[in-house]
Amino acid sequence: MAKTKIWSSSLSLRRDKETIAIAGNTKPTIEGNSFRGISSGRMGRMTSEEERFDLSGPLHLLTFIDWKNENTRRSILASLIQGIYVHERDRQKKRKGPQALAPPWWESFQFKLLDNLIDVDGSIFGAIYEFKPNHLLDGSPRYVIAFRGNFLKLRSFEQDINLDRYLILYKLHRAPRFEIAMLAVRKTVAAVGDSNVWLAGHSLGSAMAMLAGKSMAKTGTFLSCYLFNPPYVSFPIERIKHENVKRLIRISKSCITAGLALAMKGKNQQRNQSDDPFEALSAWFPCLYVNPRDFICCEYIGYFEDRKTMEEIGAGCMGRLATQNSIGSLLMNAMGRDTEPLHLIPSANVITNSAPSQNCFSAHRIHQWWRDDLQLQSKLYKYK
């Protein structure tokens, strides 16, 4: 599919000559009708059956759509993200017009692709969708900004793995791809208002959506955010089978983290708790869709449950301190590197899929989230 030339007149972003300043020689720019960067690279592949909406998509939603229903929102947003994966494959295979497989993934739900988000290697990593129904529907978004994750093929690793490195080193906010994404979010919100914009992402894309939402929340703008299999930068303690061992490790980790945080706080004389930006984010409730069999995202389950455990043993204050810090980030700060645990958030609605998965790879895939036979459990966690 060719680059989308249509842009809503109410969403004027003045993009013809804008650039984003980043470190290095590669500068992401905003050119023509697409947010993009300048470089070179290649991406991976997926099976043709999975690319086709009529064979793999949520056909059960085509007869009736209720945007107030959480399952409907989940399925459609997952489909929009899948549309980005397939759109990138269309670009690679030069499938255009009737041969393109991506459009049904958004057009089936009355969305229009307004623009592509293009990385420095020319690959499509995100999209801005506009909801275009015949009449307004309660609970529906007006715009959705969505991001894909990694392609799991060797030739796709160069750019995606480079972004993984940014994530692991707590530097995702400095990545060129995130610079492009954040600019798109800010300008869209400025043009149409925060209540009209939803964020969504899968895997690495959910890390970017989370960071974008977190950055906006720090300014008092709380966007609806839907994160599928968001990566948690830590050893997946949740995968340990023995509950008592797992509980002991979590308590020990919280104590160590809180101890390091207190030591660093005394050394650096940080601000008062009343000025704590982590607590200021507590009114923002992104939706986290996690699978306990997925070692990449499953630790979010334990991350939020650990607070309750610390309260039960009378160490609630220590648990709250631990929940806003990570050992890795604290150690980097001790070495003089100014980092922030970008994956940690105070509040969330955590939706867990307990349906059987063949393996950890299928537990991490976006395809599970538009099915109508999932075994879901939802828990709301509020930081206080």
Q: Kindly state whether residue 22 falls inside one of the protein's structural domains.
A: no
Is residue 10 in a domain? no
Q: Which of 189-193, 279-283, 302-306, 358-362 is predicted most confidently?
A: 189-193
10 Å CB burial of residue 297 (0-12, 13-18, 19+) is: buried
For residue 11, being part of any structural domain is answered with no
Domain stops at, among 164, 198, 228 = 228
On whether both 280 and 348 belong to a single domain, the answer is yes
Choose among 49, 109, 101, 55: nearest CA to 79: 109
Tell me which residue range forms the domain holding 214.
Answer: 29-228
Q: Is the pLDDT of residue 136 over 90?
A: no
Q: CA-to-CA distance for 305 and 244, rounded, in angstroms?
A: 14
Q: End of a domain among 228, 258, 290?
A: 228
Q: Are 71 and 372 in contact (CB under 8 A)?
A: yes
Looking at the fold, whether 246 and 355 belong to one and the same domain comes out as: yes
- CB 163, CB 172: distance < 8 Å: yes
Looking at the structure, do residues 220 and 251 belong to the same domain, yes or no? Answer: no
Q: Within this chain, do residues 323 and 198 fall inside the same structural domain, yes or no?
A: no
Statement to judge: residues 167 and 243 lie in one domain: no
34 pLDDT more than 80: no
Give the per-residue pLDDT at 47.
63
Q: Mapping DSSP to helix (H, G, I), strand (E, B) and coil, where does residue 377 land? A: strand
Which carries the bigger pLDDT value, residue 30 or residue 245? 245
Per-residue model confidence as pLDDT tens digits over 220-243: 999 999 999 999 988 777 777 777
Helix (H, G, I), strand (E, B) or coil at 251: helix
Last residue of a domain, one of 228, 257, 292: 228
Whether residues 212 and 320 share a domain: the answer is no
Both 202 and 259 in a single domain? Answer: no
Burial class (CB in 10 A: 0-12, 13-18, 19+), 367: middle
- State the number of CA atoms in the 13 A half-sphere of 162 facing the CB: 15
Q: What pLDDT is stored for residue 336 in this prediction?
A: 65
Q: Cβ–Cβ contacts within 10 Å for residue 365, how many?
A: 20
Cα Rg for the chain, rounded, in angstroms?
21
Angstrom distance (rounded) from CA 300 to CA 101: 34
Same domain, 154 and 262: no
Query: Could you tell me if 186 and 285 lie in one domain?
Result: no
Kindly report, residue by residue over 42-55, the tens digit of the pLDDT. 333 466 788 999 99
Output the DSSP codes for 203-218: THHHHHHHHHHHHHHT
β-pairing verdict for 376-381 and 111-118: unpaired
Residue written as token pair 């955010």: 225
Based on the fold, state whether residues 93 and 187 are members of the same structural domain.
yes
Give the position of tokens 């529907």.
Answer: 137
Has residue 6 been placed in a domain?
no
Residues 254 and 195 in one domain: no
Which tens digits make up the pLDDT trace of 307-350? 888 888 888 788 788 788 777 767 776 776 767 788 899 999 99
More confident residue, 293 or 42: 293
72 has pLDDT over 80: yes
Q: Are residues 220 and 259 in the same domain?
A: no
The count of structural domains within the chain is 2
Adjacent-strand bridge partners of 376: 353
Residue 24 resides in a domain: no
Q: Which of 61, 107, 70, 63 is nearest to 86 (CA)?
A: 107
